[in-house]
Structure 1
């Protein structure tokens, strides 16, 4: 391999490591981040074996990582003519990945909190309306106030998720392209 090609490979390795480390911030393991990084820099779809060789992980770990990346739509399975094995490509648009990931996480958070509120609010209201003690009444009323504030938050994050998915976010935060 020529000196320039070696330098380019080293640069890619640094960038793949940075991508893997940055994905940790979003709750993705470094190994899954490396899988994404390898696919990101690949010019063609790769098989599990191709990826396994490049990230030095077991085929099972690579398969699990690919599944996780497919769930977040950062990786897609593609058909390659004349091949039996599955091939995978990375979504290379970081902005799309970011918007889709956060919209999905916001909806997940909203779902978890809404279920908890739906499960507990009737009990808390009942206690607030028919308290056995002043202390129970005070706590129940405080909790209902907190739930009300949580509902405001949940409504706001739902608007945010909708804004991310519809891409209306760019009306408020335009992309400033600084291409040289």
Structure 2
């Protein structure tokens, strides 16, 4: 096997692994292959160049690039004399993870917290309602207790998200592995 074949085989292994795990970002393996194409490219690429390399339709390629832009995984680049949009990998893996984590979890925490707080308020009204049966009031109290535990969890998760946003998480888990003494 010559050097070029070895290089292509090594890259293919990474491309396959990355593309198969792109579901973690909520996108398809073909978008993962596009990301890897840009990652391994020596220069910014146009949609036409990416389409030709991957054999995807122009519409699919455009959608894939938009998905990667939304995930903050690629960015537009500029090159003198080139009129078409060019794209390159925005290779800040840590920030990409932080952005994804915050983008996925912050809205979920907010939505769940609001629903739980509203439900607790309604259950408290039921508990205070003398027309409700003892059994219903008792179930309401049990549900309130369970839901309050969830509020503790969502408060913790919200504070964890804050540490990603402020990068304080790096004080506890640094980017570089510390040497053992």
TM-score of the aligned structures, taking structure 2 as reference length: 0.85
Q: Structure 1 segments of 4 or more deviating over 6 A?
A: none
Cα offset for 1:119?
4.3
What is the RMSD computed on CA atoms of the aligned residues?
2.2
Q: Map residues 6-155 of structure 1 onto 2, 5 A cutoff.
A: 6-130=5-129, 132-155=132-155
Instruction: String of CA shifts for 1:36-71, please: whole Å, max 9, x gaps.
Output: 111111222111222222222222122212222211
If you compute each CA radius of gyration, which structure gives the higher value, 1 or 2?
Answer: 2
Cα offset for 1:120?
3.1
Structure 1 unaligned blocks of 5 or more: none
Instruction: String of CA shifts for 1:120-170, please: whole Å, max 9, x gaps.
Output: 333222212216112321222222222212221111111111111222112
Cα offset for 1:172?
1.0
Structure 2 unaligned blocks of 5 or more: none
Aligned residues: 177
Instruction: String of CA shifts for 1:69-102, please: whole Å, max 9, x gaps.
Output: 2112111122333222211111223222222211
TM-score of the aligned structures, taking structure 1 as reference length: 0.85
